[in-house]
Structure 1
Amino acid sequence: MSEFFATVARGLESLAARELSQLGAAKIESDFCGVRFEGDRRLLYRVNLWARLPFRILQVIDRFACPDADRLYAGIQSVDWSAYLTPACTLAVDATGRSRALNHSHYTALQVKNAIVDRQRQQFGDRSSVDVDRPDVRINVHIYRDRCTLSLDSSGTSLHRRGYRPAIGKAPLKETLAAALLDLSNWTPELPFLDPLCGSGTLPLEAAIEGLNIAPGSFRDRFGFQSWPDFDRPLWKALCAEAAASRLPGLKAPIAGSDRDRDVLDRARANARASQLDRYIHFACTDLANLDPPADCGVIVCNPPYGERIGDRRQLGEFYKLLGNVLKQRFKGWTAHILSGNKDLAQSIGLKSSRRTPISNGAIACQLLEYELY
């Protein structure tokens, strides 16, 4: 059994822990912005392929004290790097956290890189080249209270980059956050789903992926572990084939998205085509004032502008009021979930929320507001 750490957005640790448990992880323990767990190689591949909430899956390979830069260098040099990369492999180092002596992530990463390539020169007479964009092996170093946790990044690029979204709008939701909002809304594929402010379509796309039981990682062309010396290609092919066979032929309930901006909606349709989900999602160019429910009941999840990056706050107050009126007058029998990063604007909705869940959208502290519409 190996030790792993799934990095997640702040506030989503418990949701991610539940998801990892469902995927078969053992000894699960939530931490700040992440979840520790244990498993074998099969689980590592499976989590990268199927997990909807984490950003990265790190495989922990060592821990040691590093009260200063010299001890960090010595600790990294003590690792037998031939088990993880050869001089023919490119590498990159990501550093997070800090201590009193190691308080600059770039300097920490440089120390780690120097220690690795110096060890390679001693052992092989050659060294790996650095490739910060697409390395064969990405190494993660986390410094906390004069201790170093050394890991391999099995994901490569962040898992929120599913690979299905070539066209994005302004301030798009990360796919991982969209998946979390669906979980927090208690939406299930048996219920109709609508995002009336869908932008480039991330929420409807994530709903369709879940509704069709598609592995989110199946859209990606590469994971970090595929460049590792111990990569088990037959196991990976078997897991991908298993995921493909588990895909459902159709949705149990309709999924829809609407937006008044035709250009933005064109991006949503382009993303649906790129993911081959266009025949499952109904996109409509509709002004919010003219919006009608696509079914008698269902779940609405939307992410209106907060006035931080998009929109004039004075005009947005009227927009939020309109949103509340449309929900109250036309969506009886539905449950609405609105992600808000502005308390004043949220009050303009004019409805009493039945639940408020704190959640972060990047650096913006938000709340997911739930409204039961009767």
Structure 2
Amino acid sequence: MEYFATVARGLEELAAKELEELGASSVEPGFCGVGFSGDRTLLYRVNLWARLPFRILVKLDEFPCKTPDDLYKGIQNIDWQNYLTPEQTLAVNATGKNDELNHTHFTALQVKNAIVDQQQQDFGERSDVELYDPDLRINVHIRGYFCTLSLDSSGSSLHRRGYRPAVGAAPLKESLAAALIQLSGWQPEQMFYDPLCGSGTLPIEACLKALNIAPGLFRESFGFETWSDFDLPLLEKLIAEAQASQLDTLPASIWGSDRDQEVIEQAKENATNCGVDDRIWLSQMELSEVVAPADTGVILCNPPYGDRLGRDSDLEAFYKLLGSVLKQQFKGWTAFVLSGNKKLSQSIGLKSSDRITVYNGTLPCQLMKYELY
């Protein structure tokens, strides 16, 4: 089968590498996604293990599509009773456009109509639309004069691991946190510290990686579980294998701290939800009080940068303080700071040895690397 993993912009190459490591073949990075192929086992494994993608789409068809009529006919060429019964619910997500199909809501409506009209003809009844938790999520992408039709195997976005009901004011998506950890080159043998950890996403994702815990283990379900060809024994086997491959102890310490006691409580709750609360050290601490807990390690943090949390506080002074703490307290460490505000990042006052462009949602950011001597 042909699959497509949707990912955040700029992470395509990183996600391609992850998919290859999980056993995918014909891996090809595209725009905001990666095409690949494999069998049903791979589909389930990627949903269970991949840390970077949002959704894994299963390609059903690709056909010429210039007009709404072309779209309707192309969708009706599929025998939908192979995928959907009238008792099941559906939702359609449309992306992309061309000259005549330039409104995604209309495109989605046209696809839905084509499917339920076929059902009425075949069964005299039709599926209901359920936007939030459907039995079958259908994805259509219009690009130029072609339509790609896919089924969404993931259900809710894979970045929603399921361990994090408690979030701070500007939470980092779990998938982006995992990507930043990958980009930093941090290895579990190195100490990890986030002194601005908020609700704990970066230290928790680092801990899951270090203990080889599959991020999909905390989800209630995947989209493919309501499909007609769902293989429950296969999923149970893969879950059992994932649980058996977990490690018991961290090779090095993972720490997180934050000035806000309330968000530290949220971080502890999130760590508890994925069973790593006794592995991560989480504490309320002012940035000015932070000192290096070891001779060497990796700092990774995501300080506020105005666009997310307003400009009430003196963020320039905060960034100067961050630079001072890194320079004075963390000699021998490597630091990575994510910032979406160039002017603020200059206030750190340190010379970065590398800058990597990363998108936090639609906001272009820089992941800056500092070698601290």
Q: TM-score, normalised by structure 1?
A: 0.99
CA contact (8 A) 1:254 1:281 kept: yes
CA offset at residue 118 of structure 1?
A: 0.5
Match of residue 17 from structure 2: 18
SS in 1 for 2:147: strand
CA contact (8 A) 1:154 1:225 kept: yes
Q: Deviations over 1:161-190 (max 9, x none)?
A: 000001011110000000000000001111
The count of residues paired between Structure 1 and Structure 2 equals 373
C-alpha separation between the residues in 2 aligned to 1:154 and 1:325?
47
Match of residue 172 from structure 1: 171
RMSD: 0.8
Q: Deviations over 1:280-316 (max 9, x none)?
A: 1101111000101121111011000111121427710
C-alpha separation between the residues in 2 aligned to 1:293 and 1:227?
49
Residue 260, structure 1, aligned to residue 259, structure 2? yes
Q: Equivalent pairs: percent with the same residue?
A: 64
Match of residue 27 from structure 1: 26
Match of residue 127 from structure 1: 126
CA contact (8 A) 1:166 1:274 kept: no
Residue 98, structure 1, aligned to residue 97, structure 2? yes
Q: Deviations over 1:340-364 (max 9, x none)?
A: 1000000000000000000100121
Q: Deviations over 1:310-342 (max 9, x none)?
A: 142771001000000100001011100000100
C-alpha separation between the residues in 2 aligned to 1:230 and 1:90?
16
Q: Deviations over 1:253-274 (max 9, x none)?
A: 1001000111111111111112
Match of residue 279 from structure 2: 280
C-alpha separation between the residues in 1 aligned to 2:232 and 2:186?
36
Letter aligned with residue 141 of structure 1: V
Match of residue 78 from structure 2: 79
SS in 2 for 1:293: coil
C-alpha separation between the residues in 2 aligned to 1:314 and 1:270?
27
Letter aligned with residue 140 of structure 1: N
CA contact (8 A) 1:306 1:313 kept: no
CA contact (8 A) 1:360 1:366 kept: yes
SS in 1 for 2:235: helix
C-alpha separation between the residues in 2 aligned to 1:283 and 1:295?
16
Letter aligned with residue 286 of structure 2: D
Q: How does 1:1-374 map to 2 (within 5 A)?
A: 2-312=1-311, 315-374=314-373
CA contact (8 A) 1:93 1:140 kept: yes
Q: Deviations over 1:82-134 (max 9, x none)?
A: 11111111110000001110111111000000000001111122211111000
SS in 1 for 2:234: helix
CA contact (8 A) 1:93 1:112 kept: yes
C-alpha separation between the residues in 1 aligned to 2:291 and 2:278?
21
Relative to 1, partners in 2 of residues 1:233 and 1:171: Cα closer, same or farther, differing over 3 Å? same
C-alpha separation between the residues in 2 aligned to 1:165 and 1:91?
27
- Tell me which stretches of 4 or more aligned residues in structure 1 moved more than 4 Å: none
CA contact (8 A) 1:17 1:30 kept: yes
Q: Deviations over 1:202-226 (max 9, x none)?
A: 0011011101100000000100001
C-alpha separation between the residues in 1 aligned to 2:313 and 2:134?
46
C-alpha separation between the residues in 1 aligned to 2:293 and 2:281?
10
C-alpha separation between the residues in 2 aligned to 1:338 and 1:85?
47
Unaligned runs of 5+ in 2: none
CA contact (8 A) 1:28 1:37 kept: yes
C-alpha separation between the residues in 1 aligned to 2:82 and 2:299?
49
Q: Deviations over 1:31-86 (max 9, x none)?
A: 00000000000000000000000000000000111111011001101101111111
Letter aligned with residue 220 of structure 1: R
Q: Deviations over 1:210-249 (max 9, x none)?
A: 0110000000010000110000111111000000000001
